[in-house]
Amino acid sequence: MTAAACYADRAWHGAVAVVENVRLARDTYRVRFECPELARRIVPGQFVMLRLAGQNDPLLGRPLALYDVVLDADGTPRDVDLVYLVMGKLTGKLSHFVPGQLLEVWGPLGNGFAPRAAEHLIMVAGGIGQTPFLALAKEYLGRQRYGESARPAAPGGRVTFCYGTRSRDYLAGLDDFKQAGVELRVSTDDGSAGHHGLVTDLLKQCLEENATRRHACGVVCCGPEPMMAAVAEMTRQARVPCQVSLETPMACGIGICFSCVARVRDDAGGWDYRRTCVEGPVFDARAVAFD
């Protein structure tokens, strides 16, 4: 058996029943399925691979990040929430699934976000990149604990979520973040909601507001690669620690096919390929060779 708890030889694999499948925004849905085995183990930043049970078209699964874990009346983890954007055949079919239909899933996979103490956590997301952040915010604010092993207690500080999409139609899950106690800052490319411009403009504002207390800040980021590269450079210049969750396309999700590799720098100043599904998807932003 391999050492890491997220390696595939420790993943759960089986069929699960859809509990809910609801539309959150344009082409964006939240699917909920009952799976206590996954719900009690998965932590913010990890993902599962998902297929449509009993169907071979498409053949390969799709990686979907944890959105949240739902507790039963006794406070025991029971259901898993995933948020997805309809982009291809699998997600197109999935958007029509109804309660009771079966999915095939395996996980939890990946390393998840490393807990780091920070008085002010700034989350930066573009497009569907918001999906890993609800659970992380709830954990950080002490609203919910995740995983079987005890992760460090949440510091109970401030969370600001900078969220950018093409237009207001694509903004998904805003009420979920508000209910969790997260401060929202929104941007849209067309100016239909919030700041008319890039989500990195919002991050710049946050960093400027914390100019005298940047040592107390931490940043997490997920979304299109050019946006993550810009965030990595901004946080490097500001000397603020940053974790990025890469959205590299995956085929197997368990480290066999090497289709999801990313260039990651080593301590000697060089770089090597790392599998996003196993060594990631979360990396220190300073280590990722975006260029």
Asked if the structure places residue 76 within a domain, the reply is: yes
- Give yes or no for a contact between 60 and 91, defined as CB atoms under 8 angstroms apart: no
At residue 46, the pLDDT reads 97
**Is 18 found in the same domain as 69?**
yes
At residue 20, the pLDDT reads 98
Q: Give the integer Cα–Cα distance in Å for 243 and 67.
A: 17
Last residue of a domain, one of 109, 142, 177: 109
**Is 34 found in the same domain as 170?**
no
Low-confidence ranges of the chain (pLDDT < 50): 1-3
Q: Is the link from the previous residue into 132 a cis peptide, with omega within 30 of 0? A: no
CB atoms within 10 A of CB 116: 13
pTM of the shown model: 0.93
Tell me how many domains the chain contains: 2
Place of tokens 């079966």: 102
At residue 213, the pLDDT reads 86
**Is 142 found in the same domain as 39?**
no
Exposed / middle / buried, residue 30 (Cβ in 10 Å: 0-12, 13-18, 19+): buried
Last residue of a domain, one of 109, 128, 155: 109
**Is 60 found in the same domain as 171?**
no
- Give yes or no for a contact between 21 and 31, defined as CB atoms under 8 angstroms apart: yes
Residue 264 is classified by DSSP as E
The pair of three-digit structure tokens given for residue 129, joined into one six-digit string: 């990149």
At residue 2, the pLDDT reads 46
At residue 209, the pLDDT reads 94
Q: Which residues lie closer than 8 Å to 267 by C-beta, 6 or more apart? A: none
Q: Is 126 helix (H, G, I), strand (E, B) or coil?
A: strand
- Give yes or no for a contact between 65 and 123, defined as CB atoms under 8 angstroms apart: no
255: left (phi over 0), alpha (psi -120 to 50) or beta: left
* 20: nearest Cα among 31, 29, 28, 12: 31
Last residue of a domain, one of 88, 109, 130: 109
**Is 274 found in the same domain as 130?**
yes
Domain that holds residue 43: 8-109
